[in-house]
Amino acid sequence: GAGVSQSPSNKVTEKGKDVELRCDPISGHTALYWYRQSLGQGLEFLIYFQGNSAPDKSGLPSDRFSAERTGGSVSTLTIQRTQQEDSAVYLCASSREGLYEQFFGPGTRLTVL
Partner 1 sequence: AQSVTQLDSHVSVSEGTPVLLRCNYSSSYSPSLFWYVQHPNKGLQLLLKYTSAATLVKGINGFEAEFKKSETSFHLTKPSAHMSDAAEYFCVVSRYNTDKLIFGTGTRLQVFP
Binding site for partner 1 (CB under 8 A): 3-4, 31, 33, 35, 42-45, 48, 50, 56, 59, 91, 93, 95, 97-107
- CB nearer to partner 1: pick between 65 and 82: 65
The distance of closest approach from Cβ of residue 34 to partner 1 in the complex, given in angstroms and rounded to an integer, is 10
Identify the helix (H) or strand (E) that includes residue 111.
strand 108-112
- CB nearer to partner 1: pick between 42 and 71: 42
- CB nearer to partner 1: pick between 50 and 87: 50
The distance of closest approach from Cβ of residue 66 to partner 1 in the complex, given in angstroms and rounded to an integer, is 17
The distance of closest approach from Cβ of residue 48 to partner 1 in the complex, given in angstroms and rounded to an integer, is 6
Upper half-sphere CA count for residue 77 (Cβ side, 13 Å): 33
- CB nearer to partner 1: pick between 1 and 14: 1
51: left (phi over 0), alpha (psi -120 to 50) or beta: left
DSSP letter string, 37-87: EETTTEEEEEEEEETTEEEE-TT--STTEEEEE-TTS-EEEEE-S--GGG-
The distance of closest approach from Cβ of residue 83 to partner 1 in the complex, given in angstroms and rounded to an integer, is 23
> Rounded to whole angstroms, how far apart are CA atoms 53 and 51?
6
